[in-house]
Amino acid sequence: MKKTLAPLSVLFEPRSVAVVGASRRPGSIGAEILRNLISFGFRGPVYPVNKAAEVVLSCKAYPRVIAIPDPVDLAVIAVPREFVLEVVRDCGRKGVKGLVVITAGFKEAGHEGVAREIELQRLTREFGMRVIGPNCMGLINAAEDVRLNASFAGGVPLPGRVAFATQSGALGEAILADARDLGLGIAKFASIGNIVDVTATDLVEAFGADPAIDVILLYIESFGDPRRFTQIARSISRDKPILVVKSGRSAAGARAAASHTGSLVGRDVAVESVLEQCGVLRAQSVRELFTMASAFANQPMPNGDRVAIVTNAGGPGILATDACAGLGLRLATFSNATRRALERALPQGAATQNPVDLIADADATRFQKALTAVGKDPGVDAILALFVSPVTTDALAVARTIAAAPSASGKTTLACFMGKEQSDEGVKILRGAKVPVYRFPEEAASALAAMCRWRRFRERKPGELPRFDVDAAAARRVLAKARKAGKTLLLGGECEPILRAYGLPVARSIVAADVGAAMRFAGEVGYPIVLKAESSAFVHKTEVGGVRANLENGDQLFEAFSDLERRLRPKAKDLRIRAQQQVKGHAEVILGASFDPVFGPLLLFGLGGVYVEVLRDVAVRVHPITDVDAAEMIRSIRGWPLLSGARGAKPVDVAFLEEMLLRLSCLVGDLDDVAELDLNPLIIGADAKRAAVVDARIRLRPKERG
């Protein structure tokens, strides 16, 4: 179905626009949209549609869309909710191909609204229309040959190469206003509202292909189809930075988002993972979104993370240094040539090390010499120029000097002008030269850190989704059999055939009908042996003392077997005693999978025991994971040194662990029935041949009704 839809250009590049609900009442939404369309200079004709008025804002108005004599490409609908569907039918008959439905009162407004929204979706699909909204604030395309402002936003965006899509209309309004205030130019804007058709992902795709756009900003509360988002964002983010504020981070926020958009939000750990996996930069706040965006929109990417700080004030220099260090940037070490040049250029008392402190009375010439010296240093990738304007210095001359620096050095340059009142004009000069200028040094550092983060994303190998020689059919048979027996939970040895089918080694075991069988098994695989009690009467066998380990010989095996029988049989009629080969290794890890209603299977890795349960030291990724993801997961836990062999710990076979994670990823991808899976623990040493899962749990997905 999706493929037959018209491209988004029917929305962003219409040749003519009708405003349905165009009103004569100043301040009404219908009036504002019409005014915006006209005053922004839309290149084609705009037709007001108003049941009563013959003229609106000096334009001839029509009582219905079908009464317009000429073709209409796009209709903006701002009529009361009860008339929307009628208008859509008119538009369909008229051959309108794009709709912007501003009107609210759909999915967000109870049962009746939901029904209205379903009908809106059905109708517009039937007519083959592309739709933005309903319940949105419209869209903008600032391209010179279009000049479409089909929104009721106050104020006009500055020219620029940033695109912005928002799931919250109100936030869109605010962000457009702030963008103007902060000098960020917008090429395209869309408020997607309740999303009956065009999604944030559709917009990312369109913005990605749009040569007028360098940077993509998003505010989203929910992912529609996270797989499609991942796929598209992963490829676009290699060319253009995608910066996102994703709300619903906390449980309370997720509930609020769900009630706001009517969509499930998914676990935030999955959101983090998806964004990280597809190279999308998440801003922690709207303020940070702007901080990042103005750097990406204006400056070239740095070639590395070595920063030079040039300042006329010690305090801000130290704050910038702290912020850089805290964000993982490196303070550049200057070459001898640079040091000498700085020593020649600067007076006594100035600091020629990084941060370079020009001291308070530094004028434009001193700034110029210092910026030139560090700009030439091959060990410098980016420059933060900090200026506090003292009354005694010509701030505008300094601004002009900093503004000229990047074109001379070719290096990423961000500025901080402190003491706002004296420097508004300086800020304008810098912005005019495309040097982003921040109010506080920490913000300049954070913008630069985001750029370096994106550079690392792009340098990352794309990764592969390896396939293994597995026996999915065998695993499915075991699951089907369990289903048939009415089981929803497979424990311990019951999981073994499924894991073996995917090449996940499991400690050899049998259910021993009697102690003799256990002894024969021990004779086969060798001592030591572990005995484990299994029963539907208990889930955690350790809590009932159901595990006896380190059984070194037949005597100990006999004693332990009898003990389990005696203690547990009375409570557990279906008691089975499993005899298991005792695995040797020095590290316990957990591999797991669980199902998120939005993102599907999540894969988990951590160190066993208290590391996961108490310290919550785990890595989570959304399925499917590449080999690069698997390698990153294992290395990202705090306890990684315990596996890598650092600090005197014995190393484990990490390549083997990576393969196990990838095999697990295949397993959860193949076997839809698996809702939750824990391999806890897998014991591993330096030699992976002896590594094995010693306990496992698989929870089946509840059978769908019908």
For residues 504-533, which are near a second copy according to CB under 8 A? Answer: none
Considering the complex, state which of residue 286 and residue 525 has its C-beta at the smaller distance from a second copy: 286
If you count them, how many residues does the chain have?
Answer: 706
Ramachandran bin of 366, using left for φ above 0, alpha for ψ from -120 to 50, beta for the remaining angles = alpha
Which bin fits 279, alpha (ψ -120 to 50), beta or left (φ > 0)? left
- Min. distance of Cβ 646 from a second copy in angstroms? 8
Residues 451-490 binding a second copy (CB under 8 A) are: none
Output the CA–CA distances (angstroms, integers) from residue 423 to 288, 389, 395, 412, in the order listed: 22, 7, 7, 22
**Contacting a second copy within 328-357 (CB under 8 A):** 331, 348-349, 351, 353, 355, 357
Containing 101, the helix (H) or strand (E) segment is strand 98-101
Three-class SS string for 645-689?
Answer: CHHHCCCCCHHHHHHHHHHHHHHHHHCCCEEEEEEEEEEECCCHH
Which residue, 323 or 657, has its beta carbon nearer to a second copy? Answer: 323
The C-alpha atoms of residue 103 and residue 604 are separated, in whole angstroms, by 43
Q: Does 29 bind a second copy (CB under 8 A)?
A: yes
Residue 407 Cβ, how far from a second copy at the closest point, in Å? Answer: 27
> Does 377 help bind a second copy (rule: CB under 8 A)?
no
Secondary structure string (H, E, C) spanning 498-515: HHHHCCCCECCEEECCCH
Footprint of a second copy on 168-207 (CB under 8 A):
168-171, 173-174, 176-178, 180-181
Q: Is 443 in the site for a second copy (CB under 8 A)?
A: yes
Q: Which is nearer to a second copy, 316 or 624 (CB)?
A: 316
- Cβ-based nearer residue to a second copy, 1 or 391: 391
Closest separation between CB of residue 7 and a second copy, Å? 28
What residues are paired with 220 via a beta bridge? 246
Q: Which of 98, 160, 248, 606 binds a second copy (CB under 8 A)?
A: 248
**Which 648-667 positions form the footprint of a second copy (CB under 8 A)?**
648-649
Site for a second copy in 384-403 (CB under 8 A): 388-392
From 153-161, 201-209, 365-373, 651-659, span contacting a second copy (CB under 8 A): 153-161
Residue type, 532: K
Q: Which stretch binds a second copy (CB under 8 A): 124-132, 142-150, 319-327, 497-505?
A: 319-327
285 sits near a second copy (criterion: CB under 8 A): yes
Specify the stretch interacting with a second copy by CB under 8 A; choose among 322-330, 402-410, 524-532, 661-669.
322-330
Residue numbers 535-554 binding a second copy by CB under 8 A: 543
Q: Min. distance of Cβ 311 from a second copy in angstroms?
A: 8
Site string for a second copy, 31-70 (x = CB under 8 A): -x--------------------------------------
- Give the side-chain half-sphere CA count within 13 A for 242: 31
Count of chain residues binding a second copy (CB under 8 A) = 99
SS (H, E, C) 217-270: EEEECCCCCHHHHHHHHHHHCCCCCEEEEECCCCHHHHHHHHHHHCCCCCCHHH
By CB under 8 A, tell whether 600 contacts a second copy: no
According to the binding rule CB under 8 A, does residue 113 interact with a second copy? Answer: yes
**Would you count residue 250 as binding a second copy (CB under 8 A)?**
yes
Please give the residues from 616 up to 635 whose contact with a second copy meets the rule CB under 8 A: 616-617
Tokens representing 224 are: 């529609």
Indicate which single residue of 41, 128, 159, 326 sits in contact with a second copy (rule: CB under 8 A).
326
CB-based contacts of 183-186 (< 8 A; 24+ apart in sequence): 183/158, 183/294, 183/427, 183/431, 184/158, 184/160, 184/290, 184/293, 184/294, 184/297, 185/157, 185/158, 185/159, 185/160, 185/161, 185/297, 186/140, 186/142, 186/157, 186/158, 186/160, 186/162
